[in-house]
Structure 1
């Protein structure tokens, strides 16, 4: 009887796995089909007055803390402060949470475009950045978007609370200033490529894999074919070339760094990163945000585009795939 239940539970687990896999694949196919039939829904940049939120929270606390007379005096003082703020500078706050594909770059480009249209000479941008890196081309594009702020002469500061490594650090160096929390992880100026190879597994089952290419190096290594020493050597050569370009990019914006020390693929916690020159200041993003709110207007920008259910399922399938094969 025990064996029967064990087999039955195994059967249920396998069935559930298959059903979930089918749903994910179906969702991805539906999202692709929908995107071909119908153009993407236009999104818009949402703007939140963060300074107002911060001050309202403080007001609610003070309303309970002080008596009526003190509250009245405080409100009168606030009115004077608000009156003096008419021609003050504005700080824009953006959030970038990066996955393997740097998917958030599509929102980032819209947010930066909006800022460039309205920014005044004394305005600045804060970017709360969290990313462990990913694909070179997409993170290169994300870094290029941040460089648009430099081109427009808008001062920018990257804030790192948790991690800005590899492609994430590539983005960070484009800013005029990098601020990290003491235990944030930064650096990883290196390049990696890893893929499983199923060639021997296929051979054991008498399954042939055939691949046809034109061009000597169209495919250097493969998932299912037999990899060669020359193919591996070519891939290593390409990785070294990409690493050299990464180093040059970092050096362009942070020439004070000793690349022999920091461009080794290692990552460091905030305190050590400060010693090495990878960051300019240690502080949490909250400290910098509150400080900006005291100095002037603080607006948070977030580009939002509504997604249909099939599109959401397709995105979930893609993220699951990335986690399995890239982590």
Structure 2
């Protein structure tokens, strides 16, 4: 009688079914974002992460990552939220890399207790990059005079409308080295003895998932569905975690329920789209 009754229960409530919550973290990592150009940040992912770890009977949380990186601060905040909840809820974290988990994307990936990638995935790029443009010759050509008045000699550091100064570049380099060391320490802390002694490991170089296994950046090769069914049984069920919905059924996500200013949002979206495209292009994607 008990067996017959179990047929009418939802799959997640059957004793012989294991349900694994799945979080998708896809896109460039940057603070802000809007409905025209959503991005990965702690604000845009916190609700999904909390919801996944709230599933009491799930033995693990699965996370798919497809990100070329971006903000080191937002990357570390997402990483830390995942690790804090994994320890608090006693959950195993399995990270699955799709096209790319590079730079900040890889920083998030090391939140996993295990990292699984496709052989052709791109992983690594453990480094820091800052990019910009210099317009000083352009404004001269069109007859524009740049006027900057500051209280504090370093307030106009790296102004794109003024010639680049060696002291400014040196200051930026020092800043990058500090951020880079934080990244290196985090990877060493999480990957430990799995990492191979390779001189290029922390130079910003990136590799395929196949080579990533050799270097200790990745634990195994495979795809989510096959891996989870092999680990937890053929009846394993994957449940994609989606943003909460508002009263009228709209996905609230992380950008709130208020409509953004369309003109400002569109303009901002174009700039962010260009930045995001540059991130992906670095890895041939």
Larger radius of gyration: 1
Show CA shifts across 1:269-322 (max 9, x none): 111111101100001234235545725443221113176765576554333202
Matched, 1:147 2:97: no
Name the stretch that deviates more: 149-158 or 165-174.
Answer: 149-158
Within 2, Cα distance between the matches of 1:241 and 1:218? 21
Query: Hey, what does 1:206 align to over in structure 2?
Result: 143
The one of the two structures with greater contact order (alpha-carbon pairs below 8 A, sep at least 6) is: 1
Within 1, Cα distance between the matches of 2:264 and 2:118? 35
From 217, 223, 244, give the equivalent of 2:181: 244
From 223, 234, 239, give the equivalent of 1:294: 234
Matched, 1:268 2:197: no
Paired residue secondary structure (1:145): helix
Paired residue secondary structure (1:298): strand
Provide TM-score, normalisation by structure 2: 0.77
Provide TM-score, normalisation by structure 1: 0.67
Within 2, Cα distance between the matches of 1:298 and 1:180? 18
Two-structure CA RMSD over aligned residues (Å): 3.0
Runs of 4+ more than 4 Å apart: 289-293, 306-316
Paired residue secondary structure (2:242): strand
From 206, 213, 235, give the equivalent of 2:172: 235
Q: Which has the higher helix share?
A: 1
Q: How many residues matched? A: 250
Q: Can you give the 5+ residue segments of structure 1 that lack an aligned partner in the other structure?
A: 1-75
Paired residue secondary structure (2:94): strand
Q: Can you give the 5+ residue segments of structure 2 that lack an aligned partner in the other structure?
A: 32-38, 244-250, 279-285
Within 2, Cα distance between the matches of 1:190 and 1:177? 22
Show CA shifts across 1:14-56 (max 9, x none): xxxxxxxxxxxxxxxxxxxxxxxxxxxxxxxxxxxxxxxxxxx
Query: Hey, what does 1:127 align to over in structure 2?
Result: 63
Describe how 1:32-51 pairs up with structure 2 within 5 A: none
